[in-house]
Structure 1
Amino acid sequence: MHKNEDSPRLLILGSMDEFCLLVKRARERGCQAIVADGYADGPARAFADESYVVDIRDRDAMVRLCREQRIDLLVASFSDILFESGCLAAHDTGLPATCSLNALDRLRDKDLMKRMFDELGIPHSSSKTVSTNGTAIDLEGLRFPCVVKPLNGYGSYDICVAENSEDACAFMRHMENQGYDQALVEEYDAGHEFNMMCWVANGQAHILSIADREKTWRGSGEVPHVSRIVYPSCFSSEVIDEASRHAQSIADHLGLVNSPLCIQFFWSPGESVRVCEAAGRIFGYEHELLEYASGLAVEDLLLDLALGEDTGLRLKGHDPLAFPTCCCGVYFHTRGGAPVNLKDAPQAFDAAGAREWICYYGEHDVMSEGKGGKPYVARAYLQAPSRDLLDEATREVFASFSVRDAEERELILPNELPS
């Protein structure tokens, strides 16, 4: 579409690969697409009309950027920190925001979130918020094993599974050394885990998708890592009614009218849905799978919302229980080290007919594990007509993807399909 100086100036927070399509579609719809985050080499910058390097966690810097660049609209999704920074910037500068500051508090503070679940009668794992210099007495009443994580952390970093209160306290000391003041200690839920994408349109929470969030166990004390996320879930019909009610309750409680809403929850046969977390944004590094499996593009919904269009119109006819195909994202995590033959690794994806794939490291990059490193060594999106064929392709990729160091030690953490 032709753009001129009167075209809306749309700020997109995020410049990594998952934002490329959003930037392209924003320009196609006549927006001046402006990209900003702290990654100077973000690939989405190449497709933007303008781009800026800024620490999005710096609230004053975000206000200056919005005002100096005459921003009209703002899109912030795909991660908690982007959503939070975008929401604050919108409120600070008078731009349209997807939720109130009160709702933002409940979507970002895990303690406030748990209180909200209690108020709404939504089941969740028992937990306690304690100081990182707390003692075993502070954890009395919890059943171990427990997950220990920062109260206001993000990105699944600095988390462990503690088998007893002594292990929990030891990890809390570690968190204190990392600069965290408070920890959330939560009973570990061994049920099936799900990612549910919702979209609130005109106050009604619509289910976009329910996906199986599959993990591989790493051993005692380690948090299982996400190895595969599958669209649609093989349990969608069993959980959708209860999960939908919880989504609507959360949307109503927070006053969400037009907004993304994503929920992680657990479920076991014969038991209730237990909600883990809710977020006011779309899941990153997997939202593409929704479009592959169903044809519905999250980018279009985000742009509809930013441009003030009725997102409910795009949702008509969308059925989360009737996707025409199956898709999954497979994710490869690292032990850390220096790869020597990464250039050969993508052959595993090509052999399995991957829809798309990306390696986050170059041939001579040093791999790093945990916070500060790249999200994964690599990820790939697979697509198949059925779940059985998708499983078959996944097994092939899990078995063949390999990155070794100079001593021929495997640097990739093992992935496996659940029973």
Structure 2
Amino acid sequence: MSDKTLLILGALEEFVPLVKLAASRNIRPVVVDGNPGAPAKKEALRLGGTYHDADIHNTELIAGIAAKEHADAITTAYSDLLLECMVKIADKAGLPCHLTPDQLPWYRDKDVTNRTCEELGIGTTKSVLLKPDFEDSELNGFEFPMIIKPLDMYGSRGLRIVSNVTDIRSHFKACLKTSHRPEVLAEEYNDEYEFNMQCWVLDGTVRVLGIADREKTSHDPAEIPLSTRNIYPSRLIDKVYAPALDALSRYIAKTGQTDGPLSMQFFWGPKKGFMVGEIAARYLGYEHELIEFTTGVSIEEILLAGAFDRERLHSLLDSCDPFAKNSAAVIYFHAKDGIVADLSSALAISDRNDVQYGKIFYSVGERIGSPQIMPYAARFYIIADSREEIDARSEEIISKMAIRDADGHDLLYPNRLGTY
């Protein structure tokens, strides 16, 4: 094993490929997080590395682990919380990192992101920061429906569609339960096309890896529509590539980010044009695999090269074409509460030749929970030579997919493909 050591913050399943790749390049993996027995820890130990059980919020402890293990670099991915903790640990341990702690608010505080975009003239959703004792007049000039969201969470945690001021007050406390902040962000609801974008910043220049259509399906008018399919490259990439790249380039010029991962969720449409949703300095979990399926370049390769091999990083980014001719999608299935009795349809889909990878999150006899305990009921990754083919395969999988209870009722919420 090489004298190079990589501290990997995070040990769940999605970090296993990174551990394997590091070990294959004679880089010793040291995996750290607070989940005992997590898959990436077992893999690190098996491949000659090691692991530590430690609360990721404990900056002092993990900085000490980095020193003890003689770590040369630190990395993480897929989670805003992991990113924040990594930046603080790297600063304390004196390890190289693409951000410093004083840059974190630009990527972790949604209100700071919105205000910065407004300052730079970048389209962003109209929003206002509300405290529990807010006045009705603070919402003058806003159009309903709106969304209320915590300032420091990611994904759809704590989000709620609200139809009026009374709705906001009714759901305020529930929104705060998912946050460490005493305020919520209220913003006008944007129902135009939605996208995810993944990049790497190299020497102050944004290099685009891919732009995806982010499709959602509504199951309850009061709830945020569920994310049900992401597809790379976007059907509308020719329309959104330039404004999206321009927005991120201007944003990092303001924040001072010169290297490292960068992602953005944004909207575009005929009514409101381009609008930033969220900007993060990390990669997007449960869809980063689609970059590799469409471009041949894996996120794990990029993360490792970013830590240890600048020349290889340049080569990887040069070979990554976000306008790829083939297509890749991940289909997400969500479920309502009930006890799983029949997984035969889901298992049959997992066995399809055109499914690259599938995961069913529940076993027979387990309860789904309300809300759903696991992030998804199931997810499947598929690839095809064209967008038309990926859409046809997606339709077929959706039509055949079911997770049933003992009475034969399908517990899954509906999935519908987007219209363009």
User: For 2:345 and 2:271, how far apart are their aligned partners in 1?
Assistant: 46
**Structure 1 residues 43, 209: closer, same or farther in 2, change over 3 A?**
same
Q: Does 1:114 align with 2:114?
A: yes
The aligned residue for residue 26 of structure 1 is 22
| Structure 1 residues 379-398: aligned runs within 5 Å | 379-398=379-398
Q: Does 1:331 align with 2:332?
A: yes
The aligned residue for residue 365 of structure 1 is 366
User: For 1:97 and 1:412, how far apart are their aligned partners in 2?
Assistant: 41
User: For 2:86 and 2:62, how far apart are their aligned partners in 1?
Assistant: 8
| Structure 1 residues 268-417: aligned runs within 5 Å | 268-269=269-270, 271-310=272-311, 311-321=313-323, 323-342=324-343, 345-351=346-352, 353-370=354-371, 373-417=373-417
Deviation string 1:47-77 (CA, Å, 9 cap, x unpaired) is 2121222221333333333234332211111
**Structure 1 residues 134, 230: closer, same or farther in 2, change over 3 A?**
same
User: For 2:119 and 2:31, how far apart are their aligned partners in 1?
Assistant: 39
Q: 1:45 aligns with which of 18, 41, 45?
A: 41
**Structure 1 residues 176, 156: closer, same or farther in 2, change over 3 A?**
closer
The aligned residue for residue 189 of structure 1 is 190
The aligned residue for residue 91 of structure 1 is 91
Deviation string 1:337-381 (CA, Å, 9 cap, x unpaired) is 32122365221233472111112223333323548x322111110
The aligned residue for residue 125 of structure 1 is 125
User: For 1:90 and 1:178, how far apart are their aligned partners in 2?
Assistant: 26
The aligned residue for residue 143 of structure 1 is 143
**Structure 1 residues 51, 369: closer, same or farther in 2, change over 3 A?**
farther
How much has 1:177 moved relative to structure 2? 5.3
Q: Aligned with 2:107: secondary structure?
A: helix
CA contact (8 A) 1:136 1:169 kept: no
**Structure 1 residues 116, 125: closer, same or farther in 2, change over 3 A?**
same
Q: Aligned with 1:207: secondary structure?
A: strand
User: For 2:176 and 2:16, how far apart are their aligned partners in 1?
Assistant: 37
**Structure 1 residues 39, 336: closer, same or farther in 2, change over 3 A?**
farther
CA contact (8 A) 1:352 1:397 kept: no
CA contact (8 A) 1:289 1:328 kept: yes
User: For 1:124 and 1:47, how far apart are their aligned partners in 2?
Assistant: 42
**Structure 1 residues 272, 13: closer, same or farther in 2, change over 3 A?**
same
Q: Aligned with 1:211: secondary structure?
A: strand
CA contact (8 A) 1:146 1:187 kept: yes
**Percent of aligned pairs with the same amino acid:** 32
User: For 2:256 and 2:371, how far apart are their aligned partners in 1?
Assistant: 35
User: For 1:278 and 1:187, how far apart are their aligned partners in 2?
Assistant: 18
**Structure 1 residues 336, 134: closer, same or farther in 2, change over 3 A?**
farther
User: For 2:320 and 2:352, how far apart are their aligned partners in 1?
Assistant: 32
The code of the aligned residue for 2:325 comes to: P
Q: Aligned with 2:310: secondary structure?
A: coil
User: For 1:286 and 1:105, how far apart are their aligned partners in 2?
Assistant: 25
The size of the alignment, in residue pairs, is 413
Larger deviation, residues 258-267 vs 406-415:
406-415
**Structure 1 residues 176, 99: closer, same or farther in 2, change over 3 A?**
closer
User: For 1:341 and 1:242, how far apart are their aligned partners in 2?
Assistant: 46
The code of the aligned residue for 1:14 comes to: G
How much has 1:213 moved relative to structure 2? 0.2
Larger deviation, residues 268-277 vs 386-395:
268-277
Q: Does 1:226 align with 2:251?
A: no
User: For 2:65 and 2:148, how far apart are their aligned partners in 1?
Assistant: 36
Q: Aligned with 1:345: secondary structure?
A: helix
User: For 1:376 and 1:177, how far apart are their aligned partners in 2?
Assistant: 21
User: For 1:53 and 1:64, how far apart are their aligned partners in 2?
Assistant: 13
User: For 1:60 and 1:335, how far apart are their aligned partners in 2?
Assistant: 41
**Structure 1 residues 141, 286: closer, same or farther in 2, change over 3 A?**
same
Q: Aligned with 1:410: secondary structure?
A: coil
CA contact (8 A) 1:227 1:331 kept: yes
User: For 2:384 and 2:414, how far apart are their aligned partners in 1?
Assistant: 23
RMSD: 1.9
User: For 2:52 and 2:369, how far apart are their aligned partners in 1?
Assistant: 26
The aligned residue for residue 267 of structure 2 is 266
The aligned residue for residue 10 of structure 1 is 6
Q: Does 1:103 align with 2:88?
A: no
Q: Aligned with 1:355: secondary structure?
A: strand
**Structure 1 residues 176, 43: closer, same or farther in 2, change over 3 A?**
closer
The code of the aligned residue for 1:320 comes to: P
Q: Aligned with 1:21: secondary structure?
A: helix
